[in-house]
């Protein structure tokens, strides 16, 4: 079948967006099995190339539904940069005129707000801090926790933003072996569903620098839910304010962990790159 798609990115974290609303993506309203075709579509030499595939669908619980597939075909619960791109797609393709959108995900219903200057704010909800619910195999909150991976000692802080994150503070994030360490930690038995790994360099009480290893995708230029996890981890470790600028290789996100609501707010841009059709 021929599949229509739109290529988008949020700070360089890039996506293939497929419009499955009213069956407009493919012939006779059919959609491919993205767990099988994800590797083909995500391949940067033989496919379109992306970190993740976002499928927009109708929802009985919210304005829209978002399904997320990694470039290796695995399905995940939530993506912060992805949901901003999805919101931008809905707005620019005139699927809704609302100033706020609710989006159903495997991590629950998320709220998108459209702000001036093309910025999009996402209410990512409350972070999950209990180790077994993240999930990990460790009981209780995991803050600056000593652990060993393949015989190497680390201090980790774990947070779920609808998907699992492991935050590690380093002195120089640019020179840190993210690929080697990220791959090792992602598949550790401590994390039953694998984990995203964020490597963070502290700049000030209002600013940090971050690189991320995403489960199923490898290192990406940005990770919205990862930036949110970093914002929460910094407060738990008392190293920065509740509102912090997170500098990623693709650009900055502003993260705020609201003390009154306990929700994490993420603000950043989203861009459409091109549209196309591919045989799958």
Query: Catalytic positions, please?
Result: 79, 223
Tokens of residue 147, six digits: 């652990």
Give the three-class secondary structure for 153.
strand
Q: Report the C-alpha gap between 202 and 172 in whole angstroms.
A: 9
Block residue for tokens 């304005």: 63
How many residues would you count in the chain? 280
Q: Report the C-alpha gap between 202 and 24 in whole angstroms.
A: 46
Q: Report the C-alpha gap between 253 and 233 in whole angstroms.
A: 15
Q: Name the residue among 112, 6, 105, 113 with its Cα closest to residue 59.
A: 105
Q: Report the C-alpha gap between 88 and 192 in whole angstroms.
A: 33
Give the three-class secondary structure for 221.
coil
Q: Report the C-alpha gap between 219 and 168 in whole angstroms.
A: 15
Rounded (10°) angle between helices 80-92 and 224-236: 130
Which residues make beta-bridge pairs with 76?
68
Tokens of residue 41, six digits: 């579509």
b/e map 17-39, b = 16+ CB within 10 Å = bbbbbeeebbeeeebbebeebbb
Tell me how many degrees the CA angle 241-243-247 measures, rounded to the nearest 5: 100
């Amino acid at each position: 079948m021929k599949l229509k798609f739109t290529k988008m990115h949020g700070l360089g974290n890039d996506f293939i967006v497929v419009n499955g609303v009213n069956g407009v993506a493919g012939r006779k309203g059919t959609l491919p099995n993205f767990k099988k075709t994800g590797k083909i579509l995500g391949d940067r030499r033989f496919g379109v190339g992306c970190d993740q595939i976002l499928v927009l669908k109708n929802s009985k619980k919210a304005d829209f539904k978002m399904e997320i597939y990694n470039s290796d075909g695995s399905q995940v619960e939530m993506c912060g940069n992805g949901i901003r791109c999805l919101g931008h797609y809905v707005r620019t393709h005139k699927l809704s005129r609302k100033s706020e959108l609710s989006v159903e995900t495997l991590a629950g219903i998320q709220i998108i707000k459209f702000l001036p200057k093309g910025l999009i704010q996402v209410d990512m909800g409350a972070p999950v801090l209990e180790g077994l619910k993240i999930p990990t195999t460790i009981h209780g909150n995991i803050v600056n926790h000593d652990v060993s991976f393949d015989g190497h000692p680390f201090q980790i802080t774990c947070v779920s933003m609808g998907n699992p994150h492991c935050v590690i503070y380093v002195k120089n994030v640019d020179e840190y072996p993210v690929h080697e360490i990220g791959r090792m930690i992602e598949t550790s038995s401590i994390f039953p569903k694998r984990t995203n790994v964020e490597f963070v360099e502290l700049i000030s009480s209002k600013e940090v620098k971050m690189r991320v290893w995403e489960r199923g995708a490898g290192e990406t230029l940005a990770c919205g839910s990862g930036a949110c996890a970093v914002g929460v981890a910094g407060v738990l470790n008392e190293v920065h304010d509740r509102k912090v600028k997170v500098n990623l290789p693709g650009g900055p996100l502003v993260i705020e962990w609201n003390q009154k609501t306990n929700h994490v707010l993420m603000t950043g841009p989203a861009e459409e790159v091109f549209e196309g059709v591919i045989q799958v």
